[in-house]
Amino acid sequence: AQSVSQHNHHVILSEAASLELGCNYSYGGTVNLFWYVQYPGQHLQLLLKYFSGDPLVKGIKGFEAEFIKSKFSFNLRKPSVQWSDTAEYFCAVTTSGTYKYIFGTGTRLKVLA
- Interface residue list for other proteins (CB under 8 A): 9, 30, 32, 34, 36, 42-46, 49, 51-52, 90, 92, 94, 96-101, 103-106
The least CB distance from residue 80 to other proteins, in Å, is 27
The least CB distance from residue 91 to other proteins, in Å, is 9
* Residue 31: partners with Cβ closer than 8 Å, 6 or more residues away: 25, 93, 94, 95, 96
Nearer residue to other proteins within complex by CB, 54 or 100? 100
Strand-pairing partners, residue 61, are none
**CA distances, 42 to each of 37, 64, 69, 87, 97 (Å):** 9, 22, 32, 10, 29
Nearer residue to other proteins within complex by CB, 34 or 78? 34
The least CB distance from residue 43 to other proteins, in Å, is 4
Please give the radius of gyration of the chain, using alpha carbons only, rounded to the nearest integer.
Answer: 13
